[in-house]
Amino acid sequence: MENFEFCLPDGGTISGRFNFPTCTSSNQLPLIVCIHGGSYDAEYFDADEDHSILTTSVSAKIPVISLTRPGYGSSSPVPTDDTDEDTTYGQAQGKYLNSTVLPFLWEEFKERSGASGIVILSHSIGAMIAIITAGSYAGTEGYPLSGLITSGISTELGPGPRGVMLHLLGETTGVVQFDESPKDAIMLQIPMNKFTDLKMCRHTKRLNWPVPPGELHDINMTWLDYWRKYSDRVTVPVMHALAEFDGLWTYSPEVLEDYKNAFPNSPHVTSEVVPMAPHCIELSLQSKPWYMKCCSFALQCMIWDALRPTLPPPTVPVPVQRMEEEMDSETEMAPPQGGITTLVYATTRYEVKETLREN
């Protein structure tokens, strides 16, 4: 990937990496924008030749931008209002990406990338921020948002790791620097399990950035209290994955179902487990298959964007007549054309928003 660093219209700085494969196809392409989690930077999605989104995106001719989030590396912190005590760290970042960073990057790269829409690929704290970004998106910001991918996040924090994070916050008033061995244990399950190639440990120091305390406090203390306010407003397709051995978040079928149901206005939602994987799926042995899923989903988002306007308007539900002895004091309604379909934690809603109904 090539590095970039830009001065934003508000005087801030945003940096990261990008790769735009040469593409002669006239088909619509997504621009995947990657948003890293806590203690990482843009290199998280391009750690080495075996653990990089490029293993899939290049062959699929998909352009990719990997951001170094505000407050990391040379990306300046989000401008803040000291008198605003109601906006959390994640809210400030998510809204800033939506209002300033993504519109600027789209204007800068839309022609060169050849893309027709943005699909956000996010991990952990980056997923928290991405949900706020997508939930704040109104369509008037100056960039087309077509899809959202989140991993390393769910609806239930593991009590042990949460206690560790709160202890670290209590020990410092500045940035939090993770020790390398404990970080490998939590993020990669090294040495407890063999979900990650041991050679990944040689990258730990390079990928270990100081963490702004505000985001650690938000994800551990306040996020789960307000996140549905934003997930409820997401109107693009959503793909979510949680590692079976995440280490930071609790996995169960109920958690996946709960997460999926938090996006009632998304036209398509999937929530699944990645077996035999640690919190950092992208750095594990599951890296390549996970990136293949991400690229496939991003391409599907563009097809959905193109085809959704061509669907006929939903039909009015028609009562289905039953034999009197089969009646159960209820009238069964035939589902509207393109109605809700649920399959293994996947929900598809193709009808217009006004006709949404509970599954």
pLDDT value of residue 339: 37
Query: Which range, 137-146, 317-326, 340-349, has the best average confidence (pLDDT)?
Result: 137-146
Does a structural domain hold residue 257?
yes
Residues 288 and 338 in one domain: no
Does a structural domain hold residue 177?
yes
Q: What digits encode the pLDDT tens for the residues 68-93? A: 999 999 999 999 877 677 899 999 99
97: Cα separation from own chain's centroid: 13
Window from 38-47, 165-174, 260-269 with minimum mean pLDDT: 165-174
C-alpha span between 228 and 230 (Å, rounded): 5
Q: What digits encode the pLDDT tens for the residues 233-247? A: 999 999 999 999 998
DSSP sequence for 132-183: HHHHH--S-SSS-EEEEEEES--SSB-HHHHHHHHHHHHH-SS-B---HHHH
What pLDDT band is residue 347 in, cutting at 50, 70 and 90?
A: low
Does a structural domain hold residue 203?
yes
pLDDT value of residue 165: 78
The pLDDT mean for the chain works out to: 87
Number of domains, the chain = 2
CATH number at residue 228: 3.40.50.1820
Does a structural domain hold residue 213?
yes
Residues 229 and 332 in one domain: no
Does a structural domain hold residue 190?
yes
Residues 227 and 346 in one domain: no
C-alpha span between 227 and 263 (Å, rounded): 11
Does a structural domain hold residue 196?
yes
- Closest of 119, 137, 342, 143 to residue 231, by C-alpha: 137
Greater confidence (162 vs 127) lies with: 127
Residues 175 and 323 in one domain: no
Sequence-ordered alpha helix ranges (H) in the chain: 54-57, 89-96, 102-113, 125-136, 159-171, 180-188, 213-217, 223-226, 228-231, 253-261, 287-307
Residues 59 and 179 in one domain: yes
Is residue 168 scored above 80 in pLDDT? no
Boundaries of domain holding 52:
2-310
pLDDT value of residue 48: 94
pLDDT value of residue 88: 95
Residues 26 and 47 in one domain: yes
Mean pLDDT of all residues in 150-157: 96
Q: What digits encode the pLDDT tens for the residues 276-334? A: 999 999 999 999 999 999 999 999 999 999 998 888 876 655 555 544 444 444 444 44
Residues 337 and 200 in one domain: no
Is residue 271 scored above 70 in pLDDT? yes
pLDDT value of residue 319: 55
Does a structural domain hold residue 358?
no
Percent of the residues in the chain that have a pLDDT greater than 90, as a whole number: 71
Does a structural domain hold residue 359?
no
Residues 181 and 324 in one domain: no
- Closest of 144, 140, 134, 143 to residue 107, by C-alpha: 143
Residues 341 and 273 in one domain: no
CA distances (Å), origin 229, targets 147, 260, 336: 18, 14, 28
- Both tokens of 247, joined, read 């280490």
Is residue 337 scored above 60 in pLDDT? no
Residues 231 and 348 in one domain: no
Q: What digits encode the pLDDT tens for the residues 10-67? A: 999 999 999 999 876 667 899 999 999 999 999 999 999 999 999 999 999 999 999 9
C-beta separation of 151 from 187 below 8 A: no
pLDDT value of residue 314: 64
Is residue 341 scored above 60 in pLDDT? no
Greater confidence (36 vs 344) lies with: 36
C-beta separation of 14 from 105 below 8 A: yes
pLDDT value of residue 85: 78
Residues 182 and 319 in one domain: no
Percent of the residues in the chain that have a pLDDT greater than 70, as a whole number: 86
Residues 253 and 338 in one domain: no
